[in-house]
Chain A
Amino acid sequence: MEYREMTAYDLASQAKAVCSDGKYNLTAMFANDERSMNGCFSIYCIFAGEGIFKAFKAMLSSEEKLEFPSLTPSFPSAAWYEREIHDLFGLVPIGHPDLRRLVLHENWPLGLYPLRKDFVMDMYVPEADTPYPMAHVHGEGMFEVPVGPIHAGIIEPGHFRFSQSGEQIINVDAKLFFTHRGIEKGVEGLSIELAAYRAERICGACSVSHALSYAQAIETMAHIHIPRRAEYIRTLVAELERLYNHVGDIGNLCAGLGFSVGTSHGSRLKELLMRLNERVTGNRFLRGMVIPGGVSYDITPEISQEIQKGVERLASEFVDLMGLLHHNSAFVDRVNHTGILTRHAALDLGVVGVAGRASGIDRDLRRDHAYSIYESLKFTVPVQTGGDVDARLWIRIAEVEQSLQMIRQILTDMPDSQGTLQVPIPEIKPYSSGLGYSESARGSNLHWLMIGENNKIYRYVVRSASYANWPAVTVASPGNIIPDFPLINKSFELCYACLDR
């Protein structure tokens, strides 16, 4: 990957210049400890637009004060990236409006930065009691509702602090990163093959998307092309993943407003797809199919037929389910005008995927930065402008239809087997880096890798769709009543595991 190099001092002004015409937007920002190479910490920024990615590499000498001008005043989407860099590398973004901790919680002592290279993996870290203040709203009649990290349902952990005036949400502050497993640090020094299993396990519901982003990053660096049939199979499982996620999410949305007939039918249809997944890859979450250099299994004629059968059955039952929702006034009443995320806010926060497209942001990596075989598939990218729960629901419904169409195309057009479905990964030039990306059911998943000596991972960065979208939940919620929060939250359907890593 090519980088425009600069000093960290110039980063903010250069970033502003590249985004000034509105064609590019900040899509990832992360740091890397390169002191052993050039005596610097590097801060990377990736901008997406016009079908390409532009990358900046801003160097910050370790001899100087570890500070750089913050991007957040001009790019609200940089707020979390910079907080994370501050937590894990100890680099201080000067002018950042909210430098509270993000990834590390109270239990982590001050002045210890786990992603620096001199932090040894197994180092004993004493328990601490560092402050982690939550946002408060003061005034007459105001009260707070703390929720989580352990929730009432079977949900991932996160802590929400609602500042309420009666039923009205005035403000929500989220404390997340409870499931932070240190995956990025954990894979440092691992071989490409072994790290792939962890990449696939960053998140259950986005297993294929993460495996795909990771594999594509490796393949870009190694300058290899995988067999065409393997590309088709990858795209097939990626669309199967989108399908079961969207169908499950639509059913689950009914649970958010107590419409149990919808929930039951949704979960039954999802089960149908999960069983199909197990038939295709041996795992209900499609794990084990996408590997660096290709795919593990072929699609035999029998499996192809079964997918076809399953997809057609789903298509007809899905129409029934949509009918139940569409003609249910209680349902329509709850989802309309609930949890509105305006286009302006979505652009500022760099919101991606379904949530972005529901707020009028017409972006989809599959079309705009076409990877794998998406260029040769016919599909449209549905866009809505309402920005409410209803808009996000209808985007999902439209995407289910698109995915069904794509799966049909893939099964018809898949080229015949030419023997192997894998190519070996050659020795990658040490300290080269690359970007891999894919569009998951939630939005763009970006993986950035730097390979060290002997094809071992030097640095691994994961910018998941949930990472980009979480801040939007706290923006879309105020002004709604607190019983609608589960509904709003479910309509974004963000993974905590993807975010926390």
Chain B
Amino acid sequence: MINILKKIIYTGIVTEKYDGGPVPPRFRGEVVVDNKGCTDCQVCATVCPTKAIVITGGEMSINHNACIFCGRCVEHCESQQIRHSDHYKLATLSGRLGDHTGKLLKERIRSIFGRSLHIRHVDVGSCNACDFEMNALSNPIYDLQQYGIDFVPAPRHADMLMVTGVVTRNLTQALLMTYEATPNPKIVMAVGACAASGQVFGSSYAVRGAVDELVPVDIYVPGCPPRPQALLYGLLLAIDKL
């Protein structure tokens, strides 16, 4: 017992501000494109493993929800117009929290959840990387509970579903039933490239696609997987606590 106390006191407080952790130089964040020097060779679109790059009328656009941040487009761009920045706060709001919802209603939803947000995790076909990063949120460094946010064991206790993975055929029923079981008002977060885009493993007999093809999604958090800081950013954005 005395050793346990000693270890706790010696370790001290390790909790960081949500975005306080370092971003290492090799980190591959947001894909930034300088269209000015683009020669329209379209190589980036053909080499992208998840078809996240679309070129329309010479303008190239990146769907960050589908991006796995592999760096292949950066490597293959002949005119060196593409690079990764260190920006990882890429979460976007949609659905009930998106632009088309009235300001008052949105504020009301956020104020209800802002006091305390309870989350249920639903793995609908993940590779477990996103799941492990969600687990990391509870470690003493991120300490999710300090924001009034916590994971709960059952959808009936939850305000939010954090969904990881591409929806598989075998988990479709589980996703729909979990969504049904969650009381209203509820919000859904699509965590990572699989959940947000459904494009990571292409189309196959076993895959249905992105989460928003089955249930409405309110927050998209890109990444493969999103680092814990990016997840925290998404959560705090959703409940207006940034």
Q: Which residues of A line the B interface, CB within 8 A?
A: 105, 107-108, 114, 119, 121-123, 125, 149-150, 152-157, 177-183, 185-186, 190, 194, 197-198, 201-205, 207, 248, 261, 264-265, 267-268, 270-271, 274-275, 278-285, 287-288, 296-297, 320, 323-324, 327, 495-497
Contacts and interface: CB of A to CB of B under 8 A. Distances in A.
Contacts of B125: 178-179, 181
Contact of A204 (B21, B24, B28, B132): B132
A178 B170 contact: yes
Contact of B200 (A201, A279, A296, A327): A201
Contact of B140 (A149, A204, A267, A288): A267
B171 A179 contact: yes
Contact of A181 (B8, B21, B68, B168): B168
28 contacts: A105-B170, A122-B203, A123-B205, A150-B174, A153-B151, A154-B135, A156-B126, A156-B131, A157-B171, A178-B174, A180-B169, A180-B170, A186-B201, A186-B204, A197-B50, A202-B127, A205-B128, A205-B129, A248-B132, A271-B139, A271-B141, A274-B136, A275-B24, A278-B27, A281-B26, A285-B129, A287-B70, A320-B7
B3 A114 contact: no
Contact of B131 (A125, A202, A204, A296): A204
B128 A284 contact: no
B202 interface: yes
Contacts of A248: 132
A156 B121 CA distance: 10
Contacts of B140: 264, 267-268
Contacts of B128: 156, 203-205, 495-497
B206 A288 contact: no
Contacts of B56: none
Contacts of B171: 149, 157, 178-179
Contacts of B207: 181-182, 186
A185 B206 CA distance: 9
Contact of B132 (A153, A178, A205): A205
A92 to B, nearest CB: 21
Interface in B125-157: 125-136, 138-141, 151, 153-155
A279 B4 contact: no
Interface string B168-182: 111111100010000
Interface in B71-103: 71-72
B222 interface: no
B131 A154 contact: yes
A36 B166 CA distance: 32
Contacts of A288: 28, 70-71
A324 B204 contact: no
A155 B131 contact: yes
A262 to B, nearest CB: 9
A121 B70 contact: no
A250 B206 CA distance: 33
A265 B4 CA distance: 11
A183 B201 CA distance: 7
The 4 closest A-B pairs by CB, nearest first: A204-B129, A182-B206, A152-B153, A182-B204
Contacts of B159: none
Contacts of B11: 265, 268
Contacts of B242: none
Contacts of B206: 114, 180-182, 185
